[in-house]
Structure 1
Amino acid sequence: MAIKVKFSFIFAFVLILNFSNAQQKKALSFDDYDHWKSLAKQKISNNGQWISYEINPQKGDGYLYIYNTNSHQLDSIARGKQAIFSPENDFIAFTITPQADTIKALKLKKAKSSKMPKDSLCIWNLRNGQKKTYARVRSFTVPSKQGNWLAVHFHKDTEKNKREHNDSTAQDSTQISKIPHKNSPSQKTKATKDIKKTAKKFKSEGTQLVYLNPTTGDSIAFEKVTRYFVPKYGDALFIVQSVGDSIEETQIKRLNTHLLHTDSLFHQSGKLQSLTASDKAEQLGFLFSPDTGKIKTYRLYHWSQKKKELTTVTDTLHHHIPDGWSASSKGRLWFSEKGDKLFFGTGKRPKEAAKDTLLKEEKVYVDIWNWKDTRIQPMQKKNLSKEKDRSYMAVYHCKDDIVTQLETEQLPSVSIPFKGNWDFAIGYDKAPYEKASSWNAVFAQDIYTIDLETGTKKIIQQKVSSKYSFSPDGKYLCWYNPGDSIWYLKNIDQNKQITLSKKLNIAFYDEINDMPHSPKAYGVAGWSPQSKYVYIYDRFDIWKFDTQMKKEPLNLTQGLGRKSNTQYRYKNLDDDIIYIDESEGILLSTFNESSKNMGYTWFKNGKLNTCLDESSYISTPIKAKEANHLIWKKGTFTNYPELYHSTMDFTDETMISNTNPQQKEYLWGHIQLVDYTALDGSKHQGLLVTPENLDPSKKYPMLVYYYERSQVG
């Protein structure tokens, strides 16, 4: 009896203490929302030793945090943003933005953009801890794959800045000398200022760019730079300078970062539009127009280090693209991964618009729709600007000096899979089914292959209306047919088609679909090396299909997903890896539909090893490129999704962020998963959210929220 009394006393004391704590906490107000912070832009260095992330409020100034995984030291930088680690792990570069209050005050005064404070750049040497800051930075770029160089492009200096930093600005050793105008006066005359005429000088919009190596201390400055390009491996830098006296002249240079030598590749009167280079900086492609008017026709140029020459790929007369067409400034300009192809856009040559002689009030605007149109009027209006800016993809074969038009007005949608390494492109034609899609909601398309050298197109499958996947080597097309709920596989070269899932008594479509159309498939997880197998999802598990059909389909996750009501999904931790290699082990995310737990499981040697399984939200991990380190976010209703660091098996996890420490000062709430039975006898689940200061003896109004199949009560 004494024990019961003692327990009751302690229980009552705890209730009083909790009530007292609740009374001391504040209720959230709208003013608090502006100061509530969020964590984003988390990154990890290639060697896994350094982690960076930003924590920013809804309004105001935030912080950049840098964490050392070896020493566990955490540093913060006020207003730091856009952090990038160098590929060699030698430094981290980030911008420091002006104070938010300062920007707001100047905007209220309607200050000109030239008067607004600019971002600064900080470079932090991770080897020795030294920091160096540069003011008035427009942009900066670090090679993504290799190298320790960094390009810093500055804003144009004001007169005040020029006086303050006159001695610190490097001279442009390659500045073009001024060209004398033929009408410039050679001697003074007594003519009035109104009669005296001089040539109008061209004012360059270019500004200073500095290419520097924070590790060695080397740096090279260029003036009047308008554009620049840093290739992935950092072997070179390409810059565009806007120079000239009375008219604009464009100059392109290449800096060899190993020899610290600069070569001039191009110099001509006119304007450059786009610039790109191959990954190893051995080739350059750019669009340039010598036209001085507002309407410009662009030419495509190609430079090769091997050929040591500049080639005009397309001009106003080129027999490999349609008549009246030219290179388009609206298209994407890029090299294939191997560097043997240069992809670019083409389009109808722009023309001067006819002079408008009508006043605005004299014009009448109407929308005209014909019942034969394949698109309904709202869709036409939505896509109007896109259609006006449309370009059509073409490819230049760098070694053979051949241009092939890929997209046409008849086949305007073409994709280049797997970084342009295939010999063919993929074309999509929606036209035969576009009109019917406005009433049956089936968005089907015919799929073609297009030979990159000849432009010859060949249809490989008609009326594909659901998920599909090409093997990374281009041998196979795998797609799902909603009509018979079967996955198919086609050998593209042999034009041979087989069924994959027909014999399996498993639903590969959305089992709980309640929409007025055929359910969609769960999709393809990926392909094995040499495309021997294709991995396909059902609702819970992952299936492994032999592309030669020599082996029976295998449930890779051993049916454990369906047995436990758990979804298994493949997570690729390296964007450079295009195959699923079971021998290396594969990471699978898990989500239990009953408990709502999330987690991760490693699959290796035919076994599933659960590493993480919690009643929490868990984000997709980010892996260090060259080390077995992971970072991810984890959170619940009561705990903000904080950033964690661990090894590959999720052991030794360490929480390295604390985003909203002020939350403990406020009344929050509790959440619980509730199972209930509807009036029709069906079983359902809901989330019951209650306030922290709930008094169980009182009645409260309850808000019930439903959206399609989702319900939260």
Structure 2
Amino acid sequence: MKRARVLPILLLALCLSWPSSSTITALEPPPAKSALGLADILAWKSISSAIVSDDGKWLAYRLSPVEGDSEVVVRQVQGDKEYRFGCGEGGGADLAFSDDSAWAAFSIAPTRKEAAQLKKQKKPLQNKVSILELATGKTSEVPKIRRFAFSGATSGWLALHRYAPESQLPEKDRPKGSDLILRELTTGAELNVGNVAEFSFDKPGRWIAWSVDALEQAGNGIVARNLQTGLVLPLDSGKAAFERLGWTETGDALAALRGVEDKAFSDKLYSLVAFTGFEAGKPVKTTYDPAGDKTFPAGMSLSPHRAPAWLDDRSGVLFGIRSPKKKGDEKPEAKAAEAKEEKAGDKPKAEADKTELDPEEKPDLVLWHYQDKRLQSQQQVEEDRDKQFSFLSMYRPAERKFVRLATDAIRDVTASPRSRWAVGTDDSAYELGGSLDGRRYQDVYAIDVKTGESKLAAKKVRWFSGASPDGSRLLYYQDGHYFVFDAGAGQASNITQGVPTSFVDDRDDHNVVKPPAPSLGWTKDGRSVLLSDGWDLWLVPAAGGSATNLTLTGRKEQVRYQRRLVLDRDEIGLDPDKPMLVAFQGEWTKKNGIARVQPGKAGAEALLWDDASFSRVMKAKNADVFVYTRETHNQPPDLHAAGPSLKDGRKLTSLDAQVAKYDWSAGRMLIDFKPDEKTIKA
């Protein structure tokens, strides 16, 4: 009896002493982390096209693998609401918020699988657009859309431009117009406008203008619609192509080009058509046809490669001019390609595809003549730029005067709508030498936009740093100092000779004599420039006077204040009356941070400072909401959001989850920094 009772007791004890499944799991070693393979690299996701809504409540970005389909993510900055949508494979997605922050829209490309199938079928790859109502999450998709845009500040409309329909006509005879859908966002009502080649909203959102390009140019012209009243105004029409529509910043004026065919030329001949007075609802037309102007250079026409632009004071319109190609001047290969296209256009597409031959193999031999000022490789890189080059010019309606700003002697000229003076550069005397030894010099000129007369600002300048917002002052660097040329006075002055620091970059190890520390731009009033001495940032008056060390302690504390962070996409220069954010780095610790400089207060206040890199700093237009990325050697650049102090940033993305499953290096200390001794131990 006793032996019979002992056996169940032993079995019970054995069961109680046997480890449970949870105990076994706990004793097992954690799964080994894998090494990063090629497939993992191709699947690795990164963030691009990040934007924040104007009210600071929403963030949108594209999340893409190195190879494969992407998705668009739209999420709340403070809350947890998030929307995700597949957006196909390809480059950066068009992604936008409406100005009232109520809507988002983005392009959707074909998926990788769909794209491969369409290519196999020789069908075009076309995008569609998704429209998202942020409050509800409701979406609607519109197929076959090549471009979309919200209606500026009013935010009530969305324009959706369809792809042009397929045509058997030769390319030069095909109409460029296609359907334009105007959707009223609150109601969903749509207005379809046919044969639209281009469209453009003015920035305030009161008007939309579009050009019509129809078959055989039937009804071609420019039309404007008042988005508030629905009034439609035909602005110009004719047997012509209307191109390069452009509004002024305030939306009170519009400019465009009008191109017509000429039997003597293979290129269209262009004239200017411009309008003012939209604020009164009665636009006034101004035209300029160079064919009727004896002062216009013979054999030239307006260029379609540069959009016309009104000056801010409406005294003139900027545009480019070029020499159009005459018939018979085309290269033999261009003529052959055109003839082949016309011949293929007469046949059904399937038959044309069958008869198409592979391009003839050509020897890949690069020839360079010793008198060529540019190396052949550089000519190849700049080929498209050369083809689209135009000489900057202006028409002044009040005087009915054509003014040529760029000439054969001074070809490269730039001006903005704010410019009283244009800036010209000429490197012809130094181009060959620069191609051979890399030392590129240029002569710099100030050009009066009223008369076209030029003044030599500086000769043989290697470092030209740009003009003030109105073009009246030009900044350049020579022999260890920065100089400003005053275009009105016609004189240059050394603006850094009295500053108690050096603006020579002593860290540059190139074979260059006295290279400059960087200049960081002009103030918006053009009175001062922001310069770096490699340690601190200095505000230096352009007309002379005492310079101000804004960051104050960079050299003393061995911290390099590197650059100003531009937060306003529309700014024309630094506003010295507003706080300024700057990026900085420790010379020995290699820590990075973001600091704030307050107007009228010396020194910089560190907002972020860590063993990390901070970048992509954005600010909501109408709210004190900042978004930035934080990145370390083992943490990908995730997006964070914070208030004006940038403290306690809230992490909005989770790229770092990708790192957890891989055997990631912990890094190695290369520098041992001791504040007192500043020793380096490698």
Give the TM-score taking structure 2 as reference length. 0.81
* Alignment correspondent of 1:24: 32
Task: Write the distance in 1 (CA, Å) between the matches of 2:672 and 2:596.
Answer: 34
> Greater shift after overlay, 351-360 or 601-610?
351-360
1:610 — aligned with what?
606
- Residue 263 (structure 1) aligns with: 233
Indicate if the aligned counterparts of 2:615 and 2:629 stay in contact, CA closer than 8 A.
yes
- AA aligned to 2:395 is Y
User: In the superposition, relative to structure 1, how do residues 432 and 327 fare at CA in structure 2: closer, same or farther (>3 Å)?
Assistant: same
The 1:435–1:79 alpha-carbon spacing in structure 2 relative to 1, beyond 3 Å, is closer
Output the CA distance in 2 between the equivalents of 1:203 and 1:383: 29
SS for the counterpart of 1:351 is coil
Structure 1 residues 373 and 83: CA distance shift in structure 2, 3 A: closer
Q: Deviations over 1:643-666 (max 9, x none)?
A: 111112102311101135243222
Look up the match of 1:334: 309
Distance 1:425 1:323 in 2: 24
Q: How far did residue 104 of structure 1 move?
A: 1.9
CA contact (8 A) 1:468 1:524 kept: yes
> Partners in 2 of 1:149 and 1:339 — Cα distance?
28
> Is this contact kept in 2: 1:254–1:264, CA < 8 A?
yes
Q: Which residue identity does 1:538 align to in structure 2?
A: D
Specify whether residues 460 and 157 from structure 1 end up closer, same or farther in structure 2 by C-alpha distance, changes over 3 A only: closer
Deviation at 1:459, TM superposition (A): 1.2
* Aligned twin of 1:44: 52
Q: How far apart are residue 412 of structure 1 and its match?
A: 0.7
Query: How far apart, in 1, do the equivalents of 2:382 and 2:143 lie?
Result: 42
What amino acid does structure 1 have at the position aligned with 2:231?
H
What letter is aligned with 1:654?
A: R
Report what 1:700 is aligned to. none
Q: Is 1:507 the counterpart of 2:502 in the alignment?
A: yes
Sort the Cα spacing of 1:685 and 1:85 in 2 relative to 1 into closer, same or farther, 3 A: farther
Q: Which residue of 1 aligns with 2:213?
A: 242
Instruction: Write the deviation string for residues 513-554 of structure 1: whole angstroms up to 9, x where unpaired.
Output: 221222421222334464443321011111233344443x33
C-alpha deviation, 1:596, in angstroms? 1.4
Query: Which of 221, 229, 234 is the aligned partner of 2:192?
Result: 221
Q: What is residue 302 of structure 1 aligned with on the other side?
A: 273
Residue identity opposite 1:589 in structure 2: A
- The residue type equivalent to 2:401 in the other structure is I
CA distance in 2, matches of 1:45, 1:97: 23
The reply on whether 1:632 has 2:640 as its aligned counterpart is no
Matched, 1:536 2:511: no
Conserved 8 A contact 2:588-2:671: no
| Deviations 1:283-340, CA, capped at 9 Å, x for gaps | 2322321447981332223132437454431243433321111112233433345554
The superposition leaves residues 447-471 of structure 1 with CA deviations (integer Å, 9 ceiling, x where unpaired) of 1111112111111222221142433
Q: Aligned partners of 2:185 and 2:115: how far apart in 1?
A: 31
Distance 1:19 1:30 in 2: 29
- Partners of 2:537 and 2:551 within 8 A in 1: yes
Does the Cα contact within 8 Å between 2:240 and 2:258 map onto a contact in 1?
no
CA distance 1:338–1:512, change in 2 (3 Å) = same
The aligned amino acid for 1:570 is R
CA contact 1:467–1:521 (8 Å) conserved in 2: no
Matches within 5 A, 1:190-589: 204-244=175-215, 250-279=220-249, 280=251, 282-291=253-262, 295-306=266-277, 308=283, 310-337=285-312, 339-353=314-328, 373-376=372-375, 378-380=377-379, 382-416=381-415, 419-481=416-478, 483=479, 485-504=480-499, 506-528=501-523, 530-551=525-546, 553-589=547-583
- In the alignment, the residues of structure 2 paired with residue 379 and residue 492 of structure 1 have an alpha-carbon distance, to the nearest angstrom, of 33
Instruction: Assess, with a 3 A threshold, how the Cα gap between structure 1 residues 685 and 277 changes in structure 2: closer, same or farther.
Output: farther
1:643 pairs with 635, 639, 642, which one? 639
- Compute the displacement of 1:261 (Å): 1.9
Alpha-carbon distance in 2 for matches of 1:558, 1:18: 58
Alignment-mate amino acid for residue 503 of structure 2: F
1:249 and 1:271 in contact (8 A); partners too: no
Question: CA 1:250–1:494 in structure 2 vs 1: closer, same or farther (change >3 Å)?
Answer: same
Q: TM-score, normalized by length of structure 1?
A: 0.78
Give 1:572 shift: 2.3
Asked whether the equivalents of residues 540 and 566 of structure 1 are also in contact (C-alpha less than 8 Å), the reply is yes
How many residues are paired up? 613
Match of 2:104 among 80, 89, 92: 92
Query: 1:435 is paired with a residue of what secondary structure?
Result: helix
Are 2:147 and 1:139 aligned?
Answer: yes
Per-residue CA distance 1:461-518 (angstroms, 9 max, x = gap): 222211424333444333211x3x1222333322343323334563312212221222
For residues 69 and 225 of structure 2, what CA distance do their matches in structure 1 show?
38
Q: 2:113 aligns with which of 101, 111, 123?
A: 101
Structure 2 CA distance for aligned equivalents of residues 34 and 570 of structure 1: 35
Matched, 1:122 2:95: no
The residue type paired with residue 208 of structure 2 is: L
**Counterpart Cα distance in 1 of 2:304 and 2:574:** 38
SS of alignment partner, residue 321 of structure 1: coil
CA shift in 2, pair 1:111/1:314, >3 Å: same
What residue is the counterpart of 1:194 in the other structure?
none
Does the 8 A contact of 2:418 with 2:469 survive in 1? no
Q: Is the 8 A contact 1:600 1:610 kept in 2?
A: yes
Structure 1 residues 320 and 622: alpha-carbon distance in aligned structure 2, compared to 1, 3 A threshold: farther
Q: What are the superposed Cα offsets for residues 273-292 of structure 1, whole Å, 9 maximum, x if unpaired?
A: 43333341532322321447
Q: Note the residue ranges of structure 2 that are not aligned, 5 or more in a row.
A: 1-25, 168-172, 337-358
User: In the alignment, residue 411 of structure 2 is paired with which amino acid?
Assistant: P
Measure, in 1, the Cα distance between the counterparts of 2:190 and 2:134: 19
Give the distance between the partners of 1:333 and 1:628, measured in 2 at CA. 36
Equivalent residue letter for 1:148: G
Percentage identity across paired residues of the two chains: 21
Inter-partner Cα distance in structure 2 for 1:527 and 1:158: 49
Alpha-carbon contact 1:90-1:148 (below 8 Å) kept: no
CA 1:580–1:205 in structure 2 vs 1: closer, same or farther (change >3 Å)? closer
**Quick one: distance in 1 between partners of 2:166 and 2:405?**
47
Distance 1:155 1:585 in 2: 45
Taking the aligned partners of 1:263 and 1:311, their CA distance within structure 2 comes to: 16
- C-alpha separation in 1, matches of 2:191 and 2:380: 50
Partner of 2:342: none
Distance 1:205 1:422 in 2: 34
Measured after TM superposition, the shift of residue 401 of structure 1 is 3.6
State the partner residue of 1:666.
662
CA contact (8 A) 1:645 1:653 kept: yes
Q: Which range is displaced more, 665-674 or 610-619?
A: 665-674
Taking a change above 3 Å as real, the CA distance of residues 219 and 384 of structure 1, as seen in their structure-2 partners, is closer
Distance of 1:158 and 1:414 partners within structure 2:
40
- CA 1:634 to 1:404, structure 2 compared with 1: closer, same or farther past 3 Å? same
Aligned equivalents of 2:206 and 2:681: distance in 1? 58
Tell me by how many angstroms 1:684 deviates.
Answer: 6.4
Q: Deviations over 1:361-416 (max 9, x none)?
A: 9x999988665554455545554554344221112234444321111222110011
